[in-house]
Every structure is written in structure tokens, then in C-alpha cells.
Amino acid sequence: MLPSRRSPALTTRLLAFTAACLCTHVAVAAAQDWSPTDAAPSQQVTLHQAFDYAFPLVAMGRLRAGMLGADAKPGRSQLNTWLHQHKLSGPDDRWVTTPNSDTAYSTLWLDLRQGPVALSIPDMAGRYYSLAFLDMATNNFEILGRRANGTRGGTFVVVGPDTTQPLPPNTQVIRAPTNDVLVLARILVNGDADMPAVIALQDQFKVQPLGASKTPPLWQAPPPVEQSPQAFVDMANLMLARNPAPRYEDALIQRLASVGVCGAACRWDALSPEIKTLWAQQLPAMLASLKGGLSAAGPKSDGWSYSKDNLGDFGTDYAYRAQVALGGLLALKTVEAMYPISFVDQQKQRLSGAHRYRLHLPKGALPVNAFWSLSMYEVESDGKLFFTSNPIGRYAVGDRTAGLKTGSDGAIDIVIQRDAPADPAQRANWLPTPAGDFALVLRAYEPKAELRDGRVRVPAIERLD
């Protein structure tokens, strides 16, 4: 067995794109229509479609490069080795946008070209956890965990799309659609005192490659991670070469090849000067069009935006897949978790640390089988969301918050403001805000059907001043 690698935190940053707000309306309009027509789409429309299609692949490629590094310069993680976060996320944890502070993360990168890999999970003794298996298009092609298969331990074998190796009988098999796979574990932590128990569980996660060959090289050449149109196109093609598109996308890939995105047969250097110029002109607007992330396309109610039903398993919804890759990379499917997000109060005014707010949750307002939490995020200029420092080191309030005060009717009032409330009861339920604009994300793990189908919605955020 390969040992799990321990680390005090996952701090590797996802290399981000800098989005400018040029011609955003053009980018949005160009990216919307994916339906086939008799007339060939314009080069600009095709380029916008190529961008939307490729953005998640580029985001995952850059995440992989940032965590694993390259053969000449290894990163903090390694192939076939768990990297465990031994604390809850805080302001310094920016390896992925919109982190939570409810669960400890563990990450595992696999390269299935060399054969299947066996993963052993310990008995979690009833504790909430999930293992999301993600392809390089950011789809959760499998989720293990308390909801899916209970909390007893077990061994599972992950098999790549090209594997022909016979497996032992009665093997629990997970079939991956791509050779590169990211496994993301989330384990519930009930406060700082609970972390040693979580670490003990993490240390029991095991990995065993079953292929006969040695571990493959990370990259045949150093991956392109610069923030430029050329780096974007080259990374997209590198990831498609490593992880070919499914056959039902053949016609689409053939069309996108005209603007330089198709895999091994495409490269930036082979593009015409006109197409290179178009990429350079349009990239800022296309990046800006993705702002909104989890809130970009789903239903809205009382200032809250809800994920679409295909979150985490996007199918051919390439525009939404790209939006989520910017604002909520690695999000789970809605059957496992929901992420209502709000940027505004009940009057549709922007949430700001200059004001005081309240979220009133009547008893039973959030029907879940696991837990819920309300997280506070500062909004970055490129649309990404991260925790920001505050005097009490609290980045979320939820049903497990120590000392949380509940009314006589079972309701919970979460106090949302910059300065500490004078009332001790309100301080117990206080969620500190940054000085400027902020966003709130309500996480609901194992949401019940009435929350998933919209019969229950989160109440509006009330401004108190």
C-alpha cells in the first residue's frame, strides 16, 4: 500500500484567469446557441463555444498542474497518494474557489493509463462523508459516501476507459470516463476538538495501483499555465489529448477545431493570425461572461439563486459547466448537496459590510438529512469567492455551531454584520462580514426532496438599517 501523505493544509492556489469586463453582452450572446443549424456558425460564435467547452478542462488542468507540479519540479501532492487537509478551510485556503468550513478536504489524483487503482475507505462510524470522483470536464461520474452507500468501510477499484486488465471476482468497480481523475473527499468536522478523530480516519485511506507498469510521468512536457490566449488553447488541447472527448461530441470537436480546440491535432502555433487575434480580443469578455458561477443560470427566489438540476453532471450544458468551473469548481451533484447563493437583500440591494442584516430561519426551514451551514464570502474582482479574516475566525454559521441560540418556537436568527452585536444572544449567532461587498452561500447536505424540487425555499435576507 502507498501511504497517505499528511499536510497541515491544502494551500496550493488554482491558477486563475484575470477577467476584464469588455463586451460582456457580446460574449454571453455568442455562447448561448449550441443547437445545430444548416448554416455554419460564425467564427466568433464558434470561438465562444470553444471557450465555454474548454474552460473546465483548462481549470482542471491548471489545478492538476498546481497541485502535482511537473516531473522536473514536483508539487505538494503526488499521483496515487492522498493529500489530506488537517484543518477546516479559512482565508488562506484558496486552492479552489468557494471552499467550505464544514468538512476537511482530501484530494487524490489518478492516472489510469497504467491500469486500475484500488481505494480502501475505513468505517466512518455514521459520520457524514462523501468521495466525489470527477472527470476532467468536472462531472461527478460517481459519488460514494453516507448517502450513497452508508458509512461502512470497503475497497473500490477505479478503472479507466481503456483498461482491459481482468479484475478479481466480486470487485466493486468504478468506471471512469477519463484517464485523469480527481477524487475529492469531504469529511464532516464538528469543531476543532473533533479534528483529531477526522485525521485518524484520513490516515486510514489507502491507495493501491493494480497495473503492472510504473507510475507514468506527470506531463510529457511542462503544462502551459501562463495567463494568455495561447496558454488557454494549449492547455485545452493537452487535456483533450490526455482525455479524449466522448464519441457523441465528435461533430462538435470537429467544428471547434476550426478555432484551435480539438486535442492532439490542434495547437496554437498552427492557427491563422486572424484566429489568434480573435482569441486575444475576445478572451477578456468571455471570462467576464462566466461571472456568477453557481448563481448564473438556475431558478431564483427571494434574492437567492439556486443551482440547476444538472449541477455536477452537466451533460451537454457547456455554458453552465463553464460558469460553475469559475464560481464553484468541484461542486457536488444536487442530490448530495445544494448551494443556494445570494448577493442581495430582500430589496434586491447589493449585500455590503456597510449594513446590518438578518436571516430568519423558522423551525424546519432547511429540510436536510445531514446538515446545513451559511457561509460568508468576499467577492473577488474576477468573480471568485473566498473567506476573509474576521475578529472571531468564524466563516460560517450552521446547525452544528457551538452555542447557537434558538428561539422558543425553534426558529434561528443569524445576525449578519461587520461589528459584534451588543446582545450576547445575538453574538452567539453572529456571522461577521467583510468591509465591502459579500456573498452568502447556504449549503444543504443530503437535501430532502422538498428542498431539491423547490417546494421549500430559503427566506430572504433582511436588511436592518
pLDDT band for position 293 (50/70/90)?
A: low
Residue 27: its pLDDT value, please? 37
Beta bridge partners of 154: 121
Residue 444: its pLDDT value, please? 97
Position 68: which residue type?
L
Distances (CA, A) of 191 to 196, 198, 211, 371: 10, 11, 40, 14
Residue 224 has pLDDT above 80, yes or no: yes
- Three-class SS state of 6: strand
Residue 33 has pLDDT above 80, yes or no: no
Residue 6 has pLDDT above 70, yes or no: no
Q: Do 283 and 343 fall within a single domain? A: no
Tens digit of each residue's pLDDT (9 = 90 or more) over 225-256: 888 999 999 999 999 999 999 999 999 999 99
Residue 32 has pLDDT above 70, yes or no: no
Tens digit of each residue's pLDDT (9 = 90 or more) over 199-220: 999 999 999 999 866 667 788 7
Q: Contact at 8 Å (CB) between 145 and 336?
A: yes
Distances (CA, A) of 422 to 419, 427, 428, 430: 9, 7, 11, 11
Determine what percent of the chain is predicted with pLDDT higher than 70: 90
User: If you average pLDDT over residues 53-66, what whole number do you get?
Assistant: 96
Residue 450 has pLDDT above 80, yes or no: yes
Residue 34: its pLDDT value, please? 57
Q: What is the CATH number of the domain that holds 356?
A: 2.60.120.600
Residue 7: its pLDDT value, please? 43
- Three-class SS state of 267: coil
pLDDT band for position 294 (50/70/90)?
A: low
Tens digit of each residue's pLDDT (9 = 90 or more) over 324-354: 998 889 999 999 999 999 999 999 999 999 9
All 3 cell numbers of residue 305?
439563486
Residue 94: its pLDDT value, please? 86
Tens digit of each residue's pLDDT (9 = 90 or more) over 145-202: 999 999 999 999 999 998 888 887 888 999 999 999 999 999 999 988 999 999 999 9
DSSP letter, residue 217? P
Q: Do 459 and 373 fall within a single domain? A: yes
Confirm whether 218 is domain-assigned: yes
Confirm whether 297 is domain-assigned: no
Confirm whether 349 is domain-assigned: yes
Q: Do 261 and 349 fall within a single domain? A: no
User: Length of the chain, please?
Assistant: 465
Residue 22 has pLDDT above 50, yes or no: no
Among 289, 318, 351, which residue terminates a domain?
289
Distances (CA, A) of 47 to 27, 115, 166, 226: 10, 36, 42, 20
Q: Contact at 8 Å (CB) between 243 and 139?
A: no
Position 349: which residue type?
Q
Residue 31 has pLDDT above 70, yes or no: no
Determine what percent of the chain is predicted with pLDDT higher than 90: 76
Q: Do 260 and 343 fall within a single domain? A: no
**Alpha carbon distance 321, 311 (integer Å):** 8
Q: Do 396 and 269 fall within a single domain? A: no
Q: Do 5 and 129 fall within a single domain? A: yes
Owning domain of residue 242: 1-289
Rounded to two decimals, what is the model's pTM? Answer: 0.88
Residue 161: its pLDDT value, please? 94
pLDDT band for position 15 (50/70/90)?
A: very low
Q: What is the CATH number of the domain that holds 102?
A: 2.60.40.1610
- State the distance between the two ends of the chain, measured CA to CA, in whole angstroms: 59
Confirm whether 228 is domain-assigned: yes
Q: Do 185 and 109 fall within a single domain? A: yes
User: If you average pLDDT over residues 53-62, what whole number do you get?
Assistant: 97
Residue 296: its pLDDT value, please? 64
Q: Do 243 and 111 fall within a single domain? A: yes
Confirm whether 356 is domain-assigned: yes
pLDDT band for position 4 (50/70/90)?
A: very low
Q: Do 281 and 361 fall within a single domain? A: no
Q: Do 346 and 224 fall within a single domain? A: no
Confirm whether 300 is domain-assigned: no
Q: Do 140 and 56 fall within a single domain? A: yes
At CA 142, angle to CA 138 and CA 144, rounded to 5? 125
User: If you average pLDDT over residues 77-90, what whole number do you get?
Assistant: 94
The total domain count for the chain is 2
Q: Do 46 and 181 fall within a single domain? A: yes
Residue 9: its pLDDT value, please? 40
* Choice among 31-35, 205-209, 352-356, 395-399 with the minimum mean pLDDT: 31-35
Distances (CA, A) of 165 to 74, 81, 98, 115: 29, 22, 39, 7
Residue 35: its pLDDT value, please? 55
Tens digit of each residue's pLDDT (9 = 90 or more) over 113-157: 989 999 999 999 999 999 999 999 999 999 999 999 999 999 999
Confirm whether 325 is domain-assigned: no
Residue 279 has pLDDT above 80, yes or no: yes
The pLDDT mean for the chain works out to 89
Among 274, 289, 304, which residue terminates a domain?
289
Confirm whether 320 is domain-assigned: no
